[in-house]
Amino acid sequence: MIKKEYKLSLIKLGKFLLIFLIVDFGLGIVSKQLFFSQETGKYARSIQAVKNTNAQVLIFGSSHAHRHYVPEVFEKNLNKTTYNAGAEGQQLLYHLAMQQMIVKRVKPEVIILNIDEDFLYYSKEAYDRLSDLHPYYSDYRQELRPILGLESKLVDVKLFFNAYQTNSTIMHVLRYFASPQLDYLGYRPLFGKIEKHSSIINETNKEQDLDDNFVNALYQFIATAIDNDIKLVFVTSPRLNQVDDVNNVSFNKIKNIAKEKEIPLINYFNHKEFTNKLELFHDPSHLNDTGARLFSRDVALKIVK
């Protein structure tokens, strides 16, 4: 009697798991179709970078990359097709993952990595935001597993379920379907300028610790470029206020790595053409479209030399 009940329980469990997997498979197909059909928004831009663009120049970085590098200006001055793959709020692990996926399909001639001075400091958000990469896991397991594995040791278990891979993206799909977010080859301009401002110096937080995973990610980003014969350039974006880049442990480490690996670093911190120029900034950390075009032209001309 007990064996019979045990057997029935196993059969019920098996049926439940089978139904669950079928539903998960179906939801996964639908959600993946919705995800990869996006035409505007942050995911549409990452899809364009990973799956479609054949641009000769690719730009990586956080919002400073996304808002400051104008592909139209680079194309005019470099005579090379350009795409801005910058992503707001993302840091080195994300940019490394994007680079790994892209070079699997196409090899750009030039990669520009916009450097934030705090790139190597530990950031919980940097790990949390790696969930934006989940929808790519099925197609790029080899490239993404080492990176997503830093976020969670159970990455293979969690991402085994198809619906889980895209469960956080549905709202974005609906949002940008209802209200399209326009961009220009990945660049989204900011308009308006700062009217009043008190000049200060942005000081670094000396109590922050470097994250070894971020340091290793930077080394790997460089190695991938070198191995694929891609010219790599580091650039820092201008800020309205002066930046204390001398005492910043993260930025000093980045400078040392760039020197060690012979990667050119074009530094616009405390640049006289931008610092305290209210008319060029949308907010103290981001250039407006006028400033972005001036900056993009200057960077392009420096790369040509």
Q: What gap in Å lies between CA 135 and CA 148, rounded to an integer?
A: 12
**Nearest partner of 238 among 59, 119, 116, judged by Cα:** 116
Q: What gap in Å lies between CA 240 and CA 139, rounded to an integer?
A: 41
**Nearest partner of 94 among 116, 69, 70, judged by Cα:** 116
User: Side chain identity at 50, as an amino acid letter?
Assistant: V
Is pLDDT at 199 greater than 80 in this prediction? no
Two tokens, residue 285 = 């950390």
Q: What gap in Å lies between CA 275 and CA 84, rounded to an integer?
A: 24
Q: How far is CA 260 from CA 114, 214, 237, 253, in A?
A: 18, 17, 22, 10
DSSP 40: S
The per-residue pLDDT for range 81-134, each reduced to its tens digit, is 999 999 999 999 999 999 999 999 999 999 999 999 999 999 999 999 998 998
Bridge pairing between strands 281-283 and 110-114:
unpaired
Is pLDDT at 20 greater than 50 in this prediction? no
The per-residue pLDDT for range 141-192, each reduced to its tens digit, is 999 999 998 877 766 556 545 555 555 666 666 777 777 788 999 999 999 9
Q: How many CA atoms lie within 13 A of 71 on its CB side?
A: 23
